[in-house]
Structure 1
């Protein structure tokens, strides 16, 4: 289980900007995996993630800078994000627009935390940028 202290020095969102949460609902089993977080295995692993009080925090592993946060809550079919934010200062994250950032958050959860890679959706994201 990754915690805030599982990785080096972490920086919180410096200038958070609200992000419309993805419409997706994650199943209970997926939420159990997401809650475990992610500690990078090597230098090619670019993300560190942990959950505190149902809030997912995604940090860049090399710098410790937080890029996304997502507040989850239970719903009828599992868990959903009810509030999300992205770093808005370009010095720390070259954010795009709401749609690509929203999709990036969802794809990072799938790829980094759940271990599933959807090449079609990633290609769609690259076209949006």
Structure 2
């Protein structure tokens, strides 16, 4: 059975974080559609509230939308709309902030990959690879990943310690 978003308790709300701004009028539509199971959707709508400085994102669900904000600036970077479908609960529209002062969305394919990563990694707790743009030099990729997602450096250190 697919849960009704209106009847599920949500852990993180827009009021859980004091610094947040609406998605600006400058926005682009992403070619992004995903379908989630009822269990996955229950995790998604719990959202994510930053707990420490390394947590770069504030994410909350307000039916039928998932809002994805940068935690430090409060800028809304992604906005997705969910709807029930025969196969599960689907993202039917995904928007990205196109205000160059807030986010560089010039590479829409990368923005789609980043949105997918954030949902999969932060909300669904899946072990997925971080999408690094091609123009980031190899030696700077861990730092880039950490600055964007808050992941990477610590995980790399842990992985290297495990190999010892």
TM-score of the alignment, normalized to the shorter chain, above 0.5: yes
Distance (Å, rounded) in 1 between the aligned partners of 2:128 and 2:63? 28
1:116 counterpart residue number: 126
Q: How many residue pairs were aligned?
A: 124
Alignment of 1:78-117 (within 5 A): 78-117=88-127
What RMSD in Å do the two structures reach over aligned CA positions?
A: 1.4
Instruction: Specify every segment of 5 or more residues in structure 1 that has no aligned partner in the other structure, as ranges.
Output: none
Q: Give 4+ residue runs of structure 1 displaced > 3 Å after superposition.
A: none
Q: Secondary structure at the match of 1:126?
A: coil
Quick check: which has more Rg, 1 or 2? 2
Residues 5-30 of structure 1: per-residue CA shift (max 9 Å, x gap): 000121011122111223x3111100
Which of 18, 21, 27 in structure 2 is aligned with 1:16? 27
Q: Which has the higher strand share?
A: 1
Instruction: Specify every segment of 5 or more residues in structure 2 that has no aligned partner in the other structure, as ranges.
Output: 1-10, 136-164
Alignment of 1:34-73 (within 5 A): 34-73=44-83
2:84 counterpart residue number: 74
2:148 counterpart residue number: none
Q: Which has the higher contact order (CA 8 A, sep 6+)?
A: 1
Q: How far did 1:117 drift? A: 2.6
2:3 counterpart residue number: none
2:35 counterpart residue number: 25
Distance (Å, rounded) in 2 between the aligned partners of 1:85 and 1:39? 21
Kindly indicate whether the alpha-carbon contact (under 8 Å) linking 1:21 and 1:81 is maintained by their aligned counterparts in 2: yes
